[in-house]
Amino acid sequence: MSKELSEFYYQRALHTANRADLTNAVREAALSIGLLEAAYETEEKESAEFLKEKQKRYKLTGLCYERLGNYTMAALCFSVIPNYFSKCREDLELKKERIDQIRLFVSERKYKQVIRLLDRVPGKSVMEYQFLGFCYGVLGRQKKASGCFLQAISLDIGSEDVNRIIKELKSSTTAIQRKKGWWTKWTTMQG
């Protein structure tokens, strides 16, 4: 029974991640991992079947964490998959160093340096878009800030932080007008 429940939650996590709800996808994947662990006896945990199932769940969880910008947790998840981790370890370390540098710049109120650093980064994470939005907002560039927060929302509609920000943005017609088509689609999905 636990194997079936584990697979159910894994499939839900995949579906949730595909809907750009990464925060909830991580929760569902973690539940799937816990159920999988409970489904196998200690001696069965060395089987190829268990290891394969465990690795696919950790890979999904790690990919969600990476897209969210939590590179430490991504690395922990990927470390369960030795071949995969050896390929992405260096990239994750560089991304983590970049986030640490951004945090330092923000603490020193060097907002323009954060913007210069992140503007040239392709495929930004949710966290990186949030930092960009914050820095643009502090510098009085509200249109740019709104655009960054809307990008973060489009990547993770389940994030409590991002949903708090969206409540503030609902009153900002500028942000809504810039992303009107997307905004209508997103609010319709929210019910």
171 found inside a domain: yes
99 found inside a domain: no
72 and 133 co-located in one domain: no
Strand partners, 11: none
Cα 12 from Cα 64, distance rounded (Å) = 13
Cα end-to-end span (Å), the chain: 33
- DSSP for 87-98 reads HHHHHHHHHHHH
Nearest to 119 by CA among 106, 131, 107: 131
Instruction: Sort 160 into a burial class: Cβ within 10 Å, 0-12 / 13-18 / 19+.
Output: exposed
- Count of domains forming the chain: 2
**pLDDT tens digits, 97-115:** 999 999 999 999 999 999 9
10 and 76 co-located in one domain: yes
Question: What integer is the mean pLDDT of 146-153?
Answer: 86
Per the CB < 8 A criterion, the answer to whether 132 and 118 are in contact is yes
Nearest to 26 by CA among 77, 81, 86: 77
Question: What integer is the mean pLDDT of 164-185?
Answer: 50
Residue 177 tokens read as 């007008």
133 found inside a domain: yes
145 and 67 co-located in one domain: no
127 and 76 co-located in one domain: no
Domain extent for 140: 109-190
pLDDT band at 169 (very low <50, low <70, confident <90, very high): low
Quick check: 170 pLDDT over 60?
A: no
pTM of the predicted model, to two decimals?
0.77
160 found inside a domain: yes
80 and 157 co-located in one domain: no
17 and 77 co-located in one domain: yes
The 3 state secondary structure assigned to 13-65 is HHHHHHCCEHHHHHHHHHHHHHHHHHHCCHHHHHCHHHHHHHHHHHHHHHHHH
The pLDDT, as a whole number, for residue 190 is 34
**pLDDT tens digits, 43-94:** 788 888 989 999 999 999 999 999 999 999 999 999 999 888 888 889 999 9
Per the CB < 8 A criterion, the answer to whether 146 and 172 are in contact is yes
Question: Domain of 174: which CATH number?
Answer: 1.25.40
**pLDDT tens digits, 4-50:** 999 999 999 999 999 989 999 999 999 999 999 998 888 788 888 98
